[in-house]
């Protein structure tokens, strides 16, 4: 699976949109972009995933560039409960379940 | 509510003792997984199971054992052969291997 690069940390004001970037320049054509988040001492929470089209669900939007080398997770109205470590990973859906979590981005939502 | 339940949340054991971590899911998922996460580290796959009565080793299976006698349950035993068992253990499931993976809340194991 391809490697991803994310900023170490970001701040966001409560109520504003949080835009979390991810670089995956070596992504292959059959690899999906997945986003999870993890609050300390809890299991990772699935947020969203996509292949090449932009995706939206009740939690977030995922914008993938046309060349698929980068993506942005958007939390439209960040709340204090969105403070967490956000992980961007790429994976082939046929694989065994091995998920390569990098260091992620620590998002701090401030009042 | 549907989900993945891990128990106990916190567990302390003496060195040399085996310990079993419970994982139950009511999502009707075929595939289940066990991961280990150390502080500041990513996830490492211990074992996974695609269907009942079948399981495969992951990257760090040594010192661990699993069983999959029921679709809903995938317990993990940390044996005394595991050199550094103190860690955060995560159980997960997916509709099948290759689908989106969903995680339980995790279990903290401390061996003293």
- 8 Å CB contact of B108 and A94: no
Residues in chain A with pLDDT values less than 50: none
pLDDT category, B81, cuts 50, 70, 90? Answer: confident
Closest CA to A79 of A40, A38, A107, A49: A107
Nearest-angstrom CA–CA distance, B108 and A107:
24
Residue B42 forms contact with A (CB below 8 Å): yes
Residue of A nearest to B46 (CA): A98
Residue A50 forms contact with B (CB below 8 Å): no
The beta-strand segments (E) located in chain A are 9-13, 18-23, 31-38, 45-50, 55-56, 61-64, 70-75, 84-92, 105-110
Looking at the predicted structure, is the pLDDT value of residue B1 above 60?
Answer: no
Q: Which pLDDT score, from 0 to 100, does residue A3 have? A: 86
pLDDT category, B98, cuts 50, 70, 90? Answer: confident
Q: Which pLDDT score, from 0 to 100, does residue A92 have? A: 73
pLDDT in tens, B7-57: 999 999 998 899 999 999 999 999 999 999 998 778 889 999 999 999 999
- 8 Å CB contact of B45 and A102: no
Residue of B nearest to A41 (CA): B106
């Amino acid at each position: 699976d391809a490697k991803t690069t994310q900023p170490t940390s970001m701040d966001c004001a409560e109520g504003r949109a949080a835009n979390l970037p991810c670089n995956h320049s070596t992504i292959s054509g059959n690899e999906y972009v997945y986003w999870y988040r993890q609050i300390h001492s809890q299991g990772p929470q699935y947020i969203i995933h996509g292949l090449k089209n932009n995706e939206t669900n009740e939690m977030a939007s995922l914008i993938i560039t046309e060349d698929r080398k980068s993506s942005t997770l958007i939390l439209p109205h960040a709340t204090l409960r969105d403070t967490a470590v956000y992980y961007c990973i790429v994976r082939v859906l046929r694989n065994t379940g091995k998920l390569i979590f990098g260091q992620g981005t620590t998002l701090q939502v401030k009042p | 509510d549907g989900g993945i339940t891990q128990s106990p949340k916190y567990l302390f054991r003496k060195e040399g003792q085996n310990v079993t971590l419970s994982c139950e899911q009511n999502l009707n998922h075929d595939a289940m997984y066990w991961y280990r996460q150390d502080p500041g580290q990513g996830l490492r796959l211990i074992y996974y199971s695609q269907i009942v009565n079948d399981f495969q080793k992951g990257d760090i299976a040594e010192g661990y054992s699993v069983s999959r006698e029921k679709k809903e349950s995938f317990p993990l035993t940390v044996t005394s052969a595991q050199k550094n068992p103190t860690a955060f253990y995560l159980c997960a499931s997916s509709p099948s291997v290759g689908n989106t993976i969903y995680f339980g809340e995790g279990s903290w194991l401390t061996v003293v």
